[in-house]
């Protein structure tokens, strides 16, 4: 039972990242998740408090006094979401710039060419101009593209036909290729 609960809890989060860029995405995800969870519990708590505090009781035949034009409440429900959205924008922008940064000296250049029902991976030489090896069929454990561990890789995504999704779960990397 404990293992099942652990799996359910882990399913709310992306896999553990194996790249620096994936770690940045994971941190962003965790921040957004925490903010969303706090907002959820605050809103649900306020709903429960309102329902319990203002429920109709025996003898309540008239409407309670109505509040109109509360400047403080209006300012708060405008300013707080604006600050939250601005904060999320800034940290998302910083993460995107970090993740999208291109290395000046990648250890390897790979072109992933999408086609109907298949991927082709072209591995280039050190100059990045000549194809050294082409992988047509997924090979190795789990199949798919193989890259060196701990080194920068320049990955170029192309498609011959329709939009394809390129997703590497452990990199926390997904792109639509068209």
Q: Are 122 and 131 in contact (CB under 8 A)?
A: yes
Structure tokens at 26: 């994971």
**Model confidence pLDDT, tens digit, residues 124-174:** 998 888 999 888 766 666 667 888 888 899 999 999 899 999 988 888 989
What does the pLDDT read at residue 139?
Answer: 64
**Model confidence pLDDT, tens digit, residues 30-76:** 999 999 999 999 999 999 999 999 888 888 888 878 888 889 999 99
Residues in the chain: 178
What does the pLDDT read at residue 141?
Answer: 67
Q: Other C-beta atoms within 10 Å of 110: how many?
A: 19
Rounded to whole angstroms, the Cα distance separating 125 from 143 reads: 22
DSSP 4: H
What does the pLDDT read at residue 117?
Answer: 80
- Angle at the Cα of 119 from the Cα atoms of 116 and 120, rounded to 5 degrees: 125
What does the pLDDT read at residue 76?
Answer: 94
Q: How far lies 135's CA from each of 76, 81, 112, 122, 157, in Å?
A: 57, 49, 10, 6, 15
């Amino acid at each position: 039972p404990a293992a099942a609960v652990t799996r359910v809890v882990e399913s709310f989060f992306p896999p553990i990242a194996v790249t620096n860029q994936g770690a940045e995405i994971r941190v962003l995800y965790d921040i957004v998740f925490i903010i969303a969870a706090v907002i959820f519990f605050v809103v649900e708590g306020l709903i429960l408090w309102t329902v319990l505090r203002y429920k109709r009781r025996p003898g309540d035949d008239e409407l309670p006094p109505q509040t109109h034009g509360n400047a403080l409440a209006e300012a708060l429900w405008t300013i707080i979401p604006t600050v939250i959205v601005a904060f999320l924008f800034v940290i998302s922008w910083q993460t995107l710039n970090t993740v999208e940064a291109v290395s000046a000296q990648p250890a390897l250049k790979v072109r992933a060419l999408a086609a109907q029902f298949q991927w082709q991976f072209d591995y280039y030489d050190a100059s990045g101009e000549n194809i050294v090896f082409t992988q047509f069929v997924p090979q190795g454990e789990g199949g798919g593209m193989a890259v060196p561990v701990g080194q920068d890789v320049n990955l170029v995504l192309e498609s011959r036909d329709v939009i394809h999704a390129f997703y590497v779960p452990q990199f926390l990397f997904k792109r639509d290729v068209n």
